[in-house]
Amino acid sequence: MRMRRLKIAIVCGLGLGLAACQTTNQQQQVDQPPNARSLIMVHKAVLWRDLESIKNASIAAPVRHADGWRVCVRLDTKGSLGSMTGARDYLVALYGADRRPELVMEDAAAACAGEPHVPFPELEGGYLRLKSDKKSKTNAPKSDRK
């Protein structure tokens, strides 16, 4: 009986220790700003409907909130009637790698008014990465190389 209690105490202690490690890890994810661009790119289909119509995208720096991080994304996309809506601000909640971002506010002009934005072209529909010069030279036939 005494040995059983000791085993239970050890198992409970290990369980509490693991729970503390997990809480600390989650807390670290929330304390440090997430890679907003990466998270938004991975989950863009959840955040917006017509991905190919997105134009003039820009993003602000993440801002800390009580339950995670928030980032302002400005873009122009087609509305429900098929015409471009004009540039609108979207407030996106970021929670870290273990939970997908959520669209908090679709017309967040007041919340995002003072935030400086930088271009976010990889979010735009039809965005293609340019091939680097080195790759194109090495892939050229030997007769074309200098």
| Domain total of the chain | 2
pLDDT of residue 42: 93
Between 121 and 25, name the one with better pLDDT: 121
Residue 21 domain-assigned (yes or no): yes
Task: Verify that 75 and 27 share a domain, yes or no.
Answer: no
Whether 33 and 69 have beta carbons less than 8 Å apart is answered as: yes
Task: Verify that 43 and 19 share a domain, yes or no.
Answer: no
Task: Verify that 2 and 42 share a domain, yes or no.
Answer: no
CA distance 121 to 73: 12
Q: Write the pLDDT tens digit of every residue in 111-133.
A: 898 889 999 999 998 777 666 65
pLDDT of residue 15: 54
CA distance 6 to 45: 52
Whether 48 has a pLDDT exceeding 60, the answer reads: yes
pLDDT of residue 5: 64
Between 66 and 27, name the one with better pLDDT: 66
Mean pLDDT of the chain, nearest integer: 78
What average pLDDT score do residues 68-86 get? 89
Containing structural domain, residue 27: 1-31
Task: Verify that 5 and 73 share a domain, yes or no.
Answer: no
Residue 141 domain-assigned (yes or no): no
Residue 134 domain-assigned (yes or no): no
Between 108 and 32, name the one with better pLDDT: 108
pTM of the model: 0.66
Give the phi and the psi of residue 50 in degrees, each rounded to 5.
-90, 85
At 3, the pLDDT band (50, 70, 90 cuts) reads low
